[in-house]
Amino acid sequence: MSISQTQTQTVAIPGRRSEGRRSRRGLALPLALGTLLTVLVLLPIVLMFLGAVRTGTFVDPRAQFSLKSLQTVYTTLPFLRTLAVTVGASLLVSLIACLAGIALAWLLARTDIRARRVMEQCVIAPLYLSPFVGALAWLILASPNAGLLNVMARDLFGIEGTIINVVSATGVILIMALYNVPYAYMTVSSALKGMDPSMEEASYLNGAGTFATAYKITLPIVRPAIISAFFFVFVLTCGTFSIPAALGGTQAMPFLAVDIYRSVATFPLDYSRAAAIGTLLFWISLIGVAFYRFASRVATRFVTVTARGYRARLVRLRSWQLPAVAFILVYVLLAIILPYLALFYVAFTSFTSSSILDANFTLANFRAVLGSVSVQQSIWNTLLVGILSPTLCVALGIMIAYAVRRLKVRGSDILDYIAMFPIAVPGIVFGTGIFWTYLMTPAYGTIWILVIAFVASYIPFAYRMIDTSMIQIDKSLEEASSVCGGSHWHTARKITFVLIKPGVLSAWILVFIFSIREISAAILLASPSNKVLSVMSWDYLEFGNVQNATIIGLLQTAILGAGIFVGRFVLRVKLSAAV
């Protein structure tokens, strides 16, 4: 009797110890990930708010705490006017982009339009390109005095005055809407493809026509997705720097994002004011994201997937086939074809001429720019950032998704929230926070500060795509591996990570595209040693050298194109799923 009691005690003690070790191991991962995400995501925002109540930077011994900058930004008329213009313009851009996106989504998802797959790739193609390069191209095309379209209209048709003025409030709004249409299109298109088409079929059987069915059945069902798209575009537009800055800055349309840059790039430098403007822009974006998340949750309630093989009835366009195709081609013409024709024209001519036929084409411009040591360094920096940022972003996204979905770690809801938090933070605001966070560290002024900024900004996109891929994997496959004696790591390596590979590659390509074309955060953190091509192009434009800015823009586009080619044809990534 005593022997059995002793044996029981000796077995129980190691059991309790092993449970304690498992408990500690269970806490280690969420604590490590939570700490890393806090430093990457939350700390820059907190320090930005702290910087807004100081009279100088943290390294300035004379700096004191003061509410002067916040009071100036939140209460004075110039900033309130800029706030009103930013919000009003963003709402208008969202409205225009959503109207166009809805029309394009309906045409491509519910009609028998020709070459549907090609058309869809054309519609989402602007996502692969830099909005700043597009704005630069439209500056060449439609500036009031020297714009190619205006000059040609005067020479060929004798039209006096300006027919298109992109350096105006109207021009800025239309160009921003033009490059935000794909976001609205993809959100609405996804809802249309996911809804139950039997409801539309019932409407047709009861005698309703095409437009009556679309108005009374289709639009009400996808209304939450439309609202979601509206506020997503609103948040993106509020934090947009490149387009309003390239098309006239504060003269054409005062924008909060442009004011942040001007505060730290022009004398007198006022870092505190930049931080204060960043906090104001942060609150606006946070409100927009709250509406977006609410609309996204509601949208999922209205999406019903039918049994496999059930296809929606396609509306026959008949005589409307040509106008529908023309509508899509006009969008592609305005967003891609015309801008890049202008870029190539300026880049390969010795001077800008009013007559394209009389222009002297040459490669000397490219040779001169490529021969610049600073340009060569910026190309290397761009490639380095474009490879490191998505790699680290995807690695972090895999760890978070696996911890949340498979390990079921404690605090997984908190990890999910922090990982998605940067959605609410525009790039220019994150750049401000990163500046305040790393100003006193060795990373400041190096390429690593850009990598940190990009990883923090784009972790939501990588994490959400990988998380979605992981949700779609049947757990029985992993359970079978565990039953056969496979460890967590062995199961993850041999089964989970193999099955989510398409989602991982899609996430990598998406973050690569964003990293190469990013300018909002990069321009605040740029130094002579870490300039990337987007910042180099902006610098040339600031000094009035449009030709060199154009060449840099084309180099940036070439890198983007090479990455997309590798993703599409080498890695076999379905790019429409990566954006």
Lowest mean pLDDT among 82-91, 255-264, 473-482, 552-561: 473-482
What pLDDT is attached to residue 578?
56
Query: Residue 56 and residue 540: Cα distance in Å, rounded?
Result: 30
What pLDDT is attached to residue 251?
65
- The proportion of the chain whose per-residue pLDDT surpasses 90, expressed as a percent, equals 40
What pLDDT is attached to residue 8?
42
What's phi and psi for 55, nearest 5 deg?
Answer: -85, -5
pLDDT at 225 > cutoff 90: no
Residue-wise pLDDT tens digits, 487-498: 667 777 777 888
What pLDDT is attached to residue 365?
86
DSSP assignments along 22-67, one per residue: HHHHHHHHHHHHHHHHIIIIIHHHHHHHHHTTBSS-TT-TT--B-S
Q: What's the one-letter identity of residue 470?
A: M
pLDDT at 543 > cutoff 50: yes
Instruction: Quote the tokens at residue 385.
Output: 């950032």
pLDDT at 476 > cutoff 80: no
Closest CA to 378 of 244, 216, 530: 530
Lowest mean pLDDT among 159-173, 188-202, 525-539: 188-202
Closest CA to 550 of 561, 538, 564: 538
pLDDT at 22 > cutoff 50: no
Question: 405 and 263 in contact (C-beta within 8 Å)?
Answer: no
Closest CA to 421 of 471, 461, 469, 467: 461
Lowest mean pLDDT among 230-239, 362-371, 439-448, 471-480: 471-480
What pLDDT is attached to residue 253?
81
What pLDDT is attached to residue 250?
56
What pLDDT is attached to residue 336?
93
Mean pLDDT of the region 547-568: 90
Neighbour count for residue 149 (Cβ, 10 Å): 18
The confidence band for 310, taking pLDDT boundaries of 50, 70 and 90, is: low
Mean pLDDT of the region 381-400: 94
What pLDDT is attached to residue 353?
55
For residue 126, how far is the Cα from the chain centroid?
12
The confidence band for 307, taking pLDDT boundaries of 50, 70 and 90, is: very low
Q: How many residues does the chain have?
A: 579
pLDDT at 29 > cutoff 60: yes
Query: Residue 255 and residue 142: Cα distance in Å, rounded?
Result: 21
Please tell me which residue, 481 or 290, carries the higher pLDDT value: 290
Mean pLDDT of the region 149-172: 83
Question: 421 and 400 in contact (C-beta within 8 Å)?
Answer: no
What pLDDT is attached to residue 342?
92
Mean pLDDT of the region 250-274: 85
Q: What string of H, E and C letters represents the secondary structure of 507-532? A: HHHHHHHHHHHCCHHHHHHCCCCCCC
